[in-house]
């Protein structure tokens, strides 16, 4: 695919990262435990702030202890294969990076042969995820600055004018196992509080934990239909509504949906497939030298995971910097009107249903330009991402032998030439 499009993600990742302005709430506030008091006021029409957000971290002594505890907890966790060590699979890696840069792209569906590193690549993304501001102690990872991403309790506190304690935390990645129950996914009544205190309390589920993060479903094409319905509802509205055992509650559930699977094991329901912003196809590496390199790298990792991860530390940090710079630079990226018209013309001539394909292609092209450190989207950027944004939205013809991604590429060059 990379040769067809004329661009590979390895070249993209090697490009010089755009220097972003430094954030005031970075490692100095958390790592060293200094106190910060201050905040942001949203000014109403009368000139009075509607609410005030207080940013505070723990005192220096407690902060150093917490830092040591976090480091010890991280060391005790199961080691993750480094993202920078993944050989090949450029299309899949690029789709994942673009979704981290702009979560509104809508996630990525990864389909391919078994044993091609799909789940390994997705889980390796954890190390690259940036930090976000959340309200301390809130189970929904509420955004202190965006009312649409606030839980009900936080929103009530804002209305009352109460100060919110804000902390920095890494974006969550939540695994949704195939055997999960609907109660565990959506949330249910808190049995412990019901028995001990006699009150009806809500116990948040996986969707609450995944808010403003990543929800990963391995073998998504084998997921039970009732869980697919739950994901469809949350992905469409960005909210999860629970009505059970006398409890009625809604909470934000905006997440990047990532799924992987083997097409030989079953097709994905078209309703859910359309909810994925991008679609990546993964094939088995055929080059003998590359296969040997993959085997050797995996053997090194299995023998000594810590040493292996250290050997890729510099590349991982470079990728983190690129992602952070691209996220901060994304809002200033522009796409010309004539390019937007041509994107919509491609979608129209391919008979793509709805407008999701147009929206996702525009967002993905801007994210790619931000990753390259450019302020304007080029036709080359669109050529790189448009097959991944449209191939799963085409109507399937059982007699068609050509890959849908090639059909999209052919139509792109026909329109853009």
Q: What is the pLDDT of residues 292-335, one digit of tens each?
A: 999 999 999 999 999 999 999 999 999 999 999 999 989 999 99
State residue 326's pLDDT score: 93
| Lowest-confidence region among 111-115, 155-159, 199-203, 380-384 | 199-203
- Look at the pTM and tell me if it is higher than 0.85: no
Mean pLDDT over 365-386 rounds to: 94
Residue of higher predicted confidence among 108 and 74: 108
State residue 327's pLDDT score: 92
| Lowest-confidence region among 148-152, 199-203, 273-277 | 199-203
Collapsing DSSP to helix, strand or coil, 193 comes out as helix
Strands 247-252 and 239-244: antiparallel
State residue 241's pLDDT score: 85
What whole-number distance in Å separates Cα of residue 273 and Cα of residue 107?
11
pLDDT digit string, tens, across residues 53-66:
444 443 334 445 44
Q: Per 3-state DSSP, what percentage of the chain is helix, strand, and coil (rounded to 5)?
A: 50, 15, 35
Residue range(s) of every CATH 1.10.8.80 domain in the chain: 333-416
What whole-number distance in Å separates Cα of residue 125 and Cα of residue 113?
20
Report residue 284's pLDDT band, with 50, 70 and 90 as the boundaries: confident
What whole-number distance in Å separates Cα of residue 278 and Cα of residue 255?
14
Report residue 366's pLDDT band, with 50, 70 and 90 as the boundaries: very high
State residue 56's pLDDT score: 40
Compute how many other C-beta atoms are within 10 angstroms of the C-beta atom of residue 347: 25
Q: Which of 82-86, 185-189, 232-236 has the highest mean pLDDT?
A: 82-86
Q: What is the 3-state secondary structure (H, E, C) of 314-376?
A: HHHHHHHHHHHHHHHHHHHCECCHHHHHHHHHHHHHCCCCCCHHHHHHHHHHHHHHHHHCCCE
291 is catalytic: no
Q: Encode burial over 106-142: b for 16+ CB neighbours within 10 A, e otherwise.
A: bbbbbbbeeebbbbbbbbbbbbbbbbbbbbeebbbbb
Catalytic site residue from 212, 327, 356, 363: 356
Strands 49-55 and 41-43: antiparallel
- Is the pLDDT at 127 greater than 70, yes or no? yes
What whole-number distance in Å separates Cα of residue 401 and Cα of residue 21?
49
% of the chain at pLDDT higher than 90: 29
- Is the pLDDT at 360 greater than 80, yes or no? yes
State residue 153's pLDDT score: 84
**Pick among 3.40.50.2300, 1.10.8.80, 2.20.25.90, 3.30.43.10: CATH of 333-416:** 1.10.8.80
What whole-number distance in Å separates Cα of residue 55 and Cα of residue 167?
7
Residue of higher predicted confidence among 242 and 314: 314
% of the chain at pLDDT higher than 70: 80
Mean pLDDT over 18-36 rounds to: 37
Report residue 263's pLDDT band, with 50, 70 and 90 as the boundaries: confident
What whole-number distance in Å separates Cα of residue 274 and Cα of residue 260?
14
State residue 179's pLDDT score: 84
State residue 60's pLDDT score: 39
Tell me the pLDDT of the chain averaged across its residues. Answer: 79
**Look-up: residue for tokens 């991860």?**
309
Ranges of beta strands (E only) in 108-246 are 108-112, 131-135, 164-170, 173-175, 187-189, 202-204, 214-218, 239-244
State residue 280's pLDDT score: 92
Residue range(s) of every CATH 3.40.50.300 domain in the chain: 79-130+171-293
Which CATH superfamily, name and number, covers 79-130+171-293?
A: P-loop containing nucleotide triphosphate hydrolases (3.40.50.300)
**Look-up: residue for tokens 């849908």?**
404
Report residue 10's pLDDT band, with 50, 70 and 90 as the boundaries: very low
Report residue 74's pLDDT band, with 50, 70 and 90 as the boundaries: low
State residue 25's pLDDT score: 36
- Is the pLDDT at 51 greater than 60, yes or no? no
| Lowest-confidence region among 43-47, 160-164, 245-249, 355-359 | 43-47
Residue 392 · residue 279 · CB < 8 Å: yes
State residue 163's pLDDT score: 83
Report residue 272's pLDDT band, with 50, 70 and 90 as the boundaries: confident
């Amino acid at each position: 695919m990379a040769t067809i499009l004329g661009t590979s993600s390895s070249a993209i990742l090697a490009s010089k990262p755009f220097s972003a302005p430094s954030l005031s709430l970075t490692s100095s506030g958390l790592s060293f435990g200094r106190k910060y008091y201050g905040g942001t006021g949203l000014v109403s029409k009368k000139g009075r702030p509607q609410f005030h957000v207080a940013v505070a971290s723990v005192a220096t002594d407690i902060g150093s202890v917490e830092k040591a505890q976090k480091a010890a907890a991280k060391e005790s966790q199961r080691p993750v294969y480094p993202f920078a060590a993944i050989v090949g699979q450029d299309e899949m890696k690029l789709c994942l990076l673009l979704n981290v840069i702009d979560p509104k792209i809508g996630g990525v569906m990864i389909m391919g042969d078994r044993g091609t590193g799909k789940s390994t690549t997705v889980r390796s993304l954890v190390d690259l995820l940036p930090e976000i501001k959340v309200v301390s102690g809130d189970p929904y990872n509420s955004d202190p600055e965006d009312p649409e991403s606030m839980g009900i309790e936080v929103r009530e506190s804002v209305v009352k004018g109460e100060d919110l304690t804000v902390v920095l935390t890494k974006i969550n990645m939540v695994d949704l196992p195939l055997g999960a129950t609907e109660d565990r996914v959506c949330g249910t009544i808190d049995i412990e509080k019901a028995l001990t205190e006699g009150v009806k309390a809500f116990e948040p589920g996986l969707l609450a934990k995944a808010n403003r993060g990543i929800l990963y479903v391995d073998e998504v094409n084998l997921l039970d239909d009732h869980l697919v319905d739950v994901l469809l509802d949350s992905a469409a509205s960005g909210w999860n509504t629970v009505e059970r055992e006398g409890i009625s509650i809604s909470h934000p559930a905006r997440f990047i949906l990532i799924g992987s699977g083997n097409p030989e094991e079953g097709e994905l329901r078209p309703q859910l497939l359309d909810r994925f912003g991008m679609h990546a196809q993964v094939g088995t590496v055929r080059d003998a030298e590359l296969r040997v390199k993959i085997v050797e790298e995996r053997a090194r990792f299995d023998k000594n995971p810590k040493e292996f991860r250290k050997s890729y530390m510099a590349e991982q940090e470079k990728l983190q910097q690129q992602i952070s710079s691209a996220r901060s630079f994304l809002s200033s990226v522009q796409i010309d009107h004539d390019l937007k018209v041509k994107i919509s013309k491609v979608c129209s001539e391919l008979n793509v249903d709805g407008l999701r394909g147009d929206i996702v292609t525009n967002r993905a092209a801007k994210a790619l330009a931000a990753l390259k450190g450019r302020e304007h989207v080029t036709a080359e950027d669109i050529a790189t991402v448009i097959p991944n944004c449209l191939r799963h939205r085409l109507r399937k013809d059982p007699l068609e032998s050509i890959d849908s991604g090639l059909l999209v590429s052919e139509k792109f060059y026909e329109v853009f030439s």
